[in-house]
Chain A
Amino acid sequence: MKLAVLPEPLAGIPWRVILPLVILVCFGATVLHSAAGGSFHPFATSHLVRFGVFLTMALIIRLMPRELVVMAAYPAYVGVLLLLILVELLGAIGGGSQRWLDLGFIVLQPSEFMKPVIVLTLATFYGALPPGMTGSWRALLPAGVLVGLPMGLVLLQPDLGTALAIGFGAGVLLFLAGLPWKWFAGAGAAALVIAPIAYFFALHDYQRARVTTFLDPESDPLGTGYHITQSKIAIGSGGITGKGFGEGSQSHLNYLPEPHTDFVFATMAEEWGLVGGLLVLLIFGVILRWGLTVARNAPDRFSQLLAGGMTATIFFYVAINLLMVMGLAPVVGIPLPFMSHGGSSMLTNMICIGTLMMIDRWSQRSRSTSFN
């Protein structure tokens, strides 16, 4: 997508994704402005600043060459894995669970990095795997280890939501890599057996409560069901056109929990109604569709898988968050990309966007070289 009027360096930039992103982030900032009681401080300003910083970062990622990315994949994986282990060790020494590394000038959450990194690593792995081995155990076992290690470490933290996000990104990548259908069928069947067992033996009490509450939120409207109930009230009371900017009683009077992070969509829907909700869905649709288009047009197997996996990672965030605020999924702490206030998720998602823009650039270049 080239615009002739723009100078060459700008013309190559994929406005097709940046424009919807900017709209979404600005809309998010508007909602955060309202959630802060009609003030840019403390949410909206930092939201916009972060987006500016991370967008720059994404544009830098975009310029990276394929060889560098492939080369960096495994070292990056090992690095993040070591950070996860470090977090676990610090947690064990400090007593109690820990998810963050405080480096003094920045607080890092290594599990967040693992989401794009696992996609990158697996894409590298399958990109290098000879096609004939796709159906053999050698296609599955190393990948299983690569996914299993970080997932296990994150589950130890314990952070079910992030572990599932890692698992989902990896799973989609395996699927796109062309692994036999029956393996997925088998895994699905195994999950059906394991899920109830895990529910009773592996989950923590608070996690179990979230699942039970999800199945019947009204059973405990003031306890664990409170989040879902209040979120549905916020969305439902918004109606078609919403209560108006700054008029949401659910968020302003603190009935809605986390109105600026996990439940930002409910905050938005209360004030902007169904119209605002459909706009958000539409923009996410545009972004994700662009991601899949990038994947389909990617020049080689590695970049195809990488693009597909990155799109799936963003999709997982969006889908789980929206399903949760509408009462269709249990409450897991997953924010809504580009709208929720919070650095980590914005960083992860902008890495995904940057990677997709990078692949988009590769494919443009390979097309132009092949056509020359």
Chain B
Amino acid sequence: MRPKFSSRLLAESFHRRTFVLGAVQGGVGLLLAARMGYIAVAENEKYEMEAESNRVNLTLIPPRRGWILDRNGSPLASNRADFRVDIIPDRLKDADAEITTLGELLNFTPVELQDLRDKIDKAAGFQPVQVADGLDYDTFAAVSVRLPELPGVVPQRGFSRFYPTGPSVGHLIGYVGTAAKEEYEKEPVPLLVTPGFKLGKDGLEKQFEQVLRGEPGARRVEVTASGRIVRDLDTREDVQGKPIQLTIDGPLQDYAARRLGLESGSVVVIDCASGDLLCMASMPSFDPNSFSDGIGRVEYQMLSENERVPLRNKVLKGLYPPGSTVKPMVAMSFLEAGLDPNETVGCGGGLRVGNRVFHCWNRRGHGSVNMSKGIYQSCDVYFYHFAQRLGMDVIAPMAKRLGMGQEFQLPVASQFFGTVPDPAWKLKKYGKPWQSYDTVNATIGQGYMLANPLQLAIMASRLATGNKIMPRLILDGKTPHFDSMDFHGDHVQIIQKAMSDVVNGPGTAGRARLPIENVLMAGKTGTAQVVGLNIGSGKGGIWKHRDHGLFIFFAPFDKPRYAGAVVIEHGGGSGAAYPIARDVMTFLFDPAKGLEALHAMEQQWGGTAKERFDAEYARRAAAAGIDVPPVPEDQATIARLVDAEARAAAAQPAGVATEAVAPRPEPDVLDGAEPR
């Protein structure tokens, strides 16, 4: 038998096996070469990118926001270069000591310091918290020098939003602020958590966020694995957001806002040729400048405790019974239904319908009343009478045609569009049939009827021109063309004349006459009852129980150029509203004359809206110390809260009205301007 193992066989086996070993080595070599080729060639792009993202650290530079311009090109919102200090809570080493030191450097009051602590407690660690902005260079330098002992504190140069007219444009334009957690979750882009970046929180700032925002700049730096910056690579400039130009007339807006003075109310002015909204003032308001820095607790308390709801945009979200301002509309519906304007009714201070007597505001009666007198004397009996004859089915469609109950195409977050009641609506809503007193209430703009000031202004413009004017807020270079309302014959002129007589003739608003030659303003007063006679007279007493004062107007009366509405909440009657309309229109035609009147009044009130606000803030801050409840979690919810309250308030009169509303006297007449 051949031996299994011998020297020769082992030598042969050795040669075979070294060959195997060589083959294995060669195989591994090929595997390595192939693997390397795969990584370096096929996956090269991927790994090159990863190496770049390792190496390059991108710091975003917040873009400068686009300006918001008024119709003349002046800024309603612009940017201001400023010095700012931020804190990144995650990077604080000894939060308490650092905040204290920072507070000393920045001369913070205890209240401000507490606000800062609140903000830092609530912040999501990674998100920078603004400590202060608008710093002067010396303060900024003082903080910069102390940086080594303040890890997590980041001094910045940047831009902050600036609203030159402050509170005057608060509701219209809104404000900006750092992104809240929910906003970041909705739009998870790194820019939103970049220090110094602010986005629109309300109003137009929010609606046009994407237009105004612009493109962030970027600073690319090379960093080591441990984060040390080796060198700057390049910097890409930011691209400023695009401006938007509004139809708003800045000075007029400011004038109207300031002219509202101590009252709570709103002014809307529309250009009758283009539908341009020249003015949408709503007061009291907030200062978007300070809102954009984050709302402090004293400020928030001031705003939230104010019964005049300074956080609500009353132009769009204030709903009011329009009162007698609907009468020109009702008259137009009568005309279109074929009523002869010269047909009269005798007013003895009331009208019996069925077994009930409905009173005119003037219990002594107006005597023989035709349509014109019905309007300028605001005679309720005239409207009761013909409304009984022609019915609600004539009035409600006209109200809607003229804009009431309508929502308009405007770049705003929400509008409350009120109610134009009719039998079908009441049946659907309350399951009850329409009653005669419902018609009576509706003809004098009470009961279920609710409108916002914008709708009232639209109604005025459509009545004045006979055109279907649509409001617009953005100037886009186009000249809109409006369809005719197709009113018959000289119906528009009849209403124009009657409304002119309200002011320039024997009407209810003689003192609204413009102090300008050759320009006659037409209008219609309205006084809307808030509580029944059993609770209050509507003139004095508790503010909340006073009547709303309303006034719709246009000028010049025969060739209408401007139309508008003024609504004063709980102003005690239309006497609170039309002087404001008069001054606003005066300003439009003769600014100097308008301002003269305003300055005199502001002296009595204690300064402009901004000055009064600041004084009030100082007083409250001094009184409160730091024992003021903190601001709600998220600034955006503040607006929502207000929405809810507003809706609740709007829903109030929707309880079933079982009574006829007793119309309130028109003030001028009480003041002695007896019907002539």
Shortest Cβ distance from B260 into chain A, in angstroms?
60
Stretch touching chain B among A82-90, A232-240, A360-368 = A232-240
Count residues of A near B (Cβ-Cβ below 8 Å). Answer: 52
Are A308 and B225 touching (Cβ within 8 A)? no
Shortest Cβ distance from A131 into chain B, in angstroms?
5
Are A135 and B230 touching (Cβ within 8 A)? no
Count residues of B near A (Cβ-Cβ below 8 Å). Answer: 44
B183 at the interface (CB under 8 A from A): no
B22 at the interface (CB under 8 A from A): yes
Are B44 and A326 touching (Cβ within 8 A)? no
B226 at the interface (CB under 8 A from A): yes
Shortest Cβ distance from A178 into chain B, in angstroms?
4
A277 at the interface (CB under 8 A from B): yes
B7 at the interface (CB under 8 A from A): yes
> Which B residues from 582 to 610 make CB contacts under 8 A with A?
none
In Å, the complex CA distance between A305 and B33 comes to 29
> Which A residues from 91 to 132 make CB contacts under 8 A with B?
131-132
A40 at the interface (CB under 8 A from B): no
In Å, the complex CA distance between A235 and B42 comes to 12
Are B5 and A253 touching (Cβ within 8 A)? no
Stretch touching chain A among B10-18, B67-75, B296-304 = B10-18
A273 at the interface (CB under 8 A from B): yes
- Within 8 Å by CB of B47, from A237, A281, A292, A319, lies A237
In Å, the complex CA distance between A178 and B4 comes to 11
Q: Which chain A residues lie closer than 8 Å to B43 at the CB level?
A: 236
Cβ contacts B255-282/A at 8 Å (1 or 0 each) = 0000000000000000000000000000
- Within 8 Å by CB of A235, from B10, B18, B33, B36, lies B36
B488 at the interface (CB under 8 A from A): no
Shortest Cβ distance from B245 into chain A, in angstroms?
48
B35 at the interface (CB under 8 A from A): yes
B25 at the interface (CB under 8 A from A): yes
B37 at the interface (CB under 8 A from A): yes
In Å, the complex CA distance between A178 and B9 comes to 9
Q: Which chain A residues lie closer than 8 Å to B7 at the CB level?
A: 131, 301
Are B47 and A308 touching (Cβ within 8 A)? no
> Which B residues from 192 to 247 make CB contacts under 8 A with A?
222-226, 230
Are A292 and B22 touching (Cβ within 8 A)? yes
- Point out which of A230, A239, A308, A328 has the most chain B C-beta atoms below 10 A from its C-beta: A239
| Chain A interface, >50% SS class | helix
In Å, the complex CA distance between A300 and B662 comes to 129
> Which A residues from 273 to 295 make CB contacts under 8 A with B?
273-274, 277-278, 281, 284-285, 288-289, 292, 295
B46 at the interface (CB under 8 A from A): yes
Q: Which chain B residues lie closer than 8 Å to A269 at the CB level?
A: 36, 40
Shortest Cβ distance from B371 into chain A, in angstroms?
83
Are A289 and B18 touching (Cβ within 8 A)? no
Are A134 and B22 touching (Cβ within 8 A)? no
A224 at the interface (CB under 8 A from B): no
Are A236 and B10 touching (Cβ within 8 A)? no
A165 at the interface (CB under 8 A from B): no
Shortest Cβ distance from B573 into chain A, in angstroms?
72
Are B14 and A178 touching (Cβ within 8 A)? yes
Cβ contacts B15-46/A at 8 Å (1 or 0 each) = 10110011001101101110111011101101
In Å, the complex CA distance between A175 and B22 comes to 13
Known: A285-B29, A328-B35. A239 touches B41 (CB 8 A): yes
Are A134 and B29 touching (Cβ within 8 A)? no
- Within 8 Å by CB of B5, from A134, A172, A270, lies A134
Q: Which chain A residues lie closer than 8 Å to B55 at the CB level?
A: 249-250, 253, 255
> Which B residues from 110 to 153 make CB contacts under 8 A with A?
none
Known: A131-B5, A239-B44, A254-B226. A281 touches B21 (CB 8 A): no
Closest to A134 in B: B5
In Å, the complex CA distance between A278 and B35 comes to 11
Are A232 and B28 touching (Cβ within 8 A)? no
In Å, the complex CA distance between A204 and B32 comes to 29
Are B40 and A240 touching (Cβ within 8 A)? yes
Q: Which chain B residues lie closer than 8 Å to A234 at the CB level?
A: 51
Q: Which chain B residues lie closer than 8 Å to A132 at the CB level?
A: 3-6
In Å, the complex CA distance between A270 and B6 comes to 52
In Å, the complex CA distance between A304 and B226 comes to 51
Shortest Cβ distance from A266 into chain B, in angstroms?
10
In Å, the complex CA distance between A324 and B263 comes to 79
B54 at the interface (CB under 8 A from A): yes
Q: List 23 A-B contacts (CB under 8 A).
A: A175-B17, A175-B21, A178-B9, A235-B40, A237-B50, A237-B52, A238-B40, A239-B44, A249-B54, A253-B54, A274-B36, A277-B33, A277-B40, A281-B29, A285-B25, A285-B29, A288-B25, A292-B18, A295-B18, A296-B18, A322-B32, A323-B32, A328-B35
Which residues of A line the B interface, CB within 8 A? Answer: 131-135, 172, 175-178, 230, 232-240, 249-250, 253-255, 269-270, 273-274, 277-278, 281, 284-285, 288-289, 292, 295-296, 301, 304-305, 308, 311-312, 315, 319, 322-323, 326-328
Which residues of B line the A interface, CB within 8 A? Answer: 3-7, 9-11, 13-15, 17-18, 21-22, 25-26, 28-29, 31-33, 35-37, 39-41, 43-44, 46-48, 50-52, 54-55, 222-226, 230
- Of all A-B residue pairs in the complex, the 6 with the closest CB atoms, nearest first, are A236-B47, A237-B51, A178-B13, A254-B225, A134-B5, A249-B55
